[in-house]
Amino acid sequence: MHVPPSMHESDTGKRIAVIGAGPAGLTVAGEMRRRGHAVTIFELLHVAGGVLMYGIPEFRLPKAIVQREIGALCEMGVNIEVNMVIGRTHTVQELLDGDYDAVFIGTGAGLPRFLGVPGESLNGVFSANEFLTRINLMKAYLFPEYDTPIKVGERVVTVGGGNVAMDSSRTALRLGARESVIVYRRSEAELPARGEEVHHAKEEGIQFQLLTNPIEFIGENGNLKAIRCIKMELGELDDSGRRRPVPIEGTEFEIEATTVVIAVGNGPHPLIPQTTPHLDLNRWGSIVADPETGLTSIRSVYAGGDIVTGAATVIEAMGAGKRAAQAMHAFLT
Amino acid sequence: MYKILKKRTLGPSIREYVVEAPDVAQVGKAGEFIVLRLHERGERIPLTIVECDPETGGVTLVVQEVGKSTREMGDHFHEGDSILDFAGPLGTASEIENYGTVICIGGGLGIAPLYPIARDLKKVGNEVIGIIGARNKELMFYEDRMDAVCDELIVMSDDGSHGTKGFVSDPLKEILESGRAIARVWAIGPAIMMKVCVEVTRPFEVPTTVSLNSIMIDGTGMCGGCRVEVDGVAKFACVDGPEFDGHQVDFDLLMSRQGYYHEEETCSMDKYVAKHAEGVER
Ligand SMILES: Cc1cc2nc3c(=O)[nH]c(=O)nc-3n(C[C@H](O)[C@H](O)[C@H](O)COP(=O)(O)OP(=O)(O)OC[C@H]3O[C@@H](n4cnc5c(N)ncnc54)[C@H](O)[C@@H]3O)c2cc1C
Ligand code: FES
């Protein structure tokens, strides 16, 4: 099996494959290249950057900044291969059997979660990943100059209370929605988004419908028209140490909506876990890796970032990348 | 960049491309697809793999020019030109085993993805009955290729200009009613054709595989835009499929979702045609 070789000379004679070009993978690549190893990044999308390119909107993180950072890596001699779906185009085992002495997996938490309520497949119901990818990665806000379309409509409802929900609802306003509403099942105190993001959202006129949970999406001719919700109250503490939201019987009501964005979290991207035998996973399907070194259950295979921790932060992903690079370097030299 | 090694016209607005993508050509199988992006402003277009040649690194695709992007591909991407992005193989491969006697039905452009399945089913020892259909004679393609891999080939056209007049579901029904033992059916084509075919096979309880072409973006399980309902459960066509048990598929939902961007598609096409008339590219 032919696997693309690393393009640049290795001062150490060692070659590293990095899977996924998000913050974790990019950090590992830079750190390893700096230490003199030859590095190739394999990315399944057509651009590097991970969530920084497809998820976080331009108004919060200009794509030119991300591309400048990536350009700097290329100048250092990091080789980036886009359109490489590891698990399919090549497998982790093939990389190890081929040119590479060690592999880092930084494939992120790209699997969108849905609510599992009736009507969720209606036109107009998007995962936050789809909504943001269409807009940020595919530049649907420039349609028809760019070929990928998006429909936003008058009234967009985002379900969820994290940073992703804030980004989605604020993006909707910028795409011309007249009203953008966040529906969240707990109260303001429990909003997982950073305070600053909530503050920005409020300033821009995002409405908050708190202690509310969707129970059904209602459509007309296949298109979303309204959301049936139920009021919630906070009960006992749950595993996460927050008070568990419980529905209040008899409080169902409808909210009109042209578009719904579901932003209730992402699971680990399943492709590598599914195609890599002997890779230990936890019960959520995340890769099990040593917190200090990033080493997985497979010799010379390391992992870090959202694929290990579940959806977390850019800083944490970069930190995991730094630690893994240190450990990989020690292992190889 | 991925070079177009060969391009030929199979019918009005139907073209076959062989694209140089050695990594995909090494491993691509029947039932899987690729995603390509023509240029910097392009959308990600999913296309089924027709054939892979590990020797030359060529991946064969058949494209019907139905929208702006595919039309642009036909107009501006010629032999020797390059496509910006090309990723795959994606999706789950067809379940190729020796079932006995199988019927492979292809309607319209569905003949393209059907061909490698019929070919591989034949290779492992099945008796393969092929049924292919098109609206008219001009739109029929791959009759020779299908003929080469089928034990029997039935050719249909809606208007009777080629083969027998009628729909692909007609001979399917006749064969099942004749009592001949059919182990499995593959039906690939427009959603409405697949819907009709699964209703024909349902009373005979013949397992029927269909291939769903829902709207996709990444094609790798990251957006859920391609979701379809199978046995009442949401599935991602790009990773769980594109092939599913046809008897469990909600075709009305599929058709509704396929049509969601109709307005935008028309707008994009009109703009392209207008610019084209002025002789301006894109
Ligand atoms: C909308 C949004 C807003 C956010 N806002 C913030 C914020 O304000 N602050 C913050 O700190 N964090 C934020 N986050 C979280 C943060 O973006 C992530 O924690 C971080 O990007 C994780 O980095 P990563 O490198 O682990 O994975 P990712 O950034 O997800 O990158 C993974 C990469 O791997 C690729 N990949 C996946 N599978 C394969 C494969 N099989 N083969 C090849 N490539 C593959 C993917 O295409 C992707 O490019 C936000 C996330 C989102 C979605
Ligand atoms: S196309 Fe995005 S998940 Fe299938």
pLDDT at B281: 47
pLDDT at B203 over 90: yes
E strand spans, A221-313: 223-237, 243-247, 253-256, 259-262, 266-267, 301-303
Q: What is the pLDDT of residues A111-131, one digit of tens each?
A: 999 999 999 999 999 999 999
The domain defined by A114-264 carries CATH number 3.40.50.300:
no
- B252 to chain A: closest CA residue: A222
A146 chain-B contacts, CB cut-off 8 A: 41-43
B217 chain-A contacts, CB cut-off 8 A: 130, 133-134, 138, 148
| CATH code linked to domain A5-110+267-332 | 3.50.50.60
Q: Let me know: does A86 contact A19? Beta carbons within 8 Å.
A: yes
Q: Do A89 and B23 lie within an 8 Å CB cutoff?
A: yes
Cβ of residue A56 lying under 6 Å from some atom of ligand 1: yes
Q: Do A145 and B41 lie within an 8 Å CB cutoff?
A: yes
Q: Do A144 and B267 lie within an 8 Å CB cutoff?
A: yes
Out of 2.40.30.10, 3.30.379.10, 1.10.357.10, 1.10.10.10, the CATH code matching B2-90 is: 2.40.30.10
Q: What is the pLDDT of residues B111-132, one digit of tens each?
A: 999 999 999 999 999 999 999 9
Cβ of residue A163 lying under 6 Å from some atom of ligand 1: yes
CATH top-level class for B101-257?
alpha beta
Q: What is the pLDDT of residues B262-278, one digit of tens each?
A: 888 888 888 888 887 66
pLDDT at A7: 58
- Residue stretches of chain A with pLDDT short of 70: 1-8
3-state secondary structure string, A124-157? CEEEHHHHHHHHHHCCHHHCCCCCCCCCCCCEEE
Q: Let me know: does A109 contact A310? Beta carbons within 8 Å.
A: yes
pLDDT at B258 over 90: no
Examine domains A5-110+267-332 and A114-264 and report if their fold is the same.
yes
User: Mean pLDDT throughout B93-108?
Assistant: 96
The number of CA neighbours under 13 Å toward the Cβ of A92 is 25
- A123 to chain B: closest CA residue: B257
Label residue B279 by pLDDT band (50, 70, 90): low
Distances (CA, A) of B212 to A5, B244, B257: 36, 8, 12
CA of A33 to the centre of ligand 2 (A): 33
pLDDT at B282: 41
Nearest-by-Cβ selection for A44 from B41, B69, B220 = B220
Cβ of residue B225 lying under 6 Å from some atom of ligand 2: yes
- A2 to chain B: closest CA residue: B23
Could you tell me the residue ranges of all domains in chain B?
Answer: 2-90, 101-257
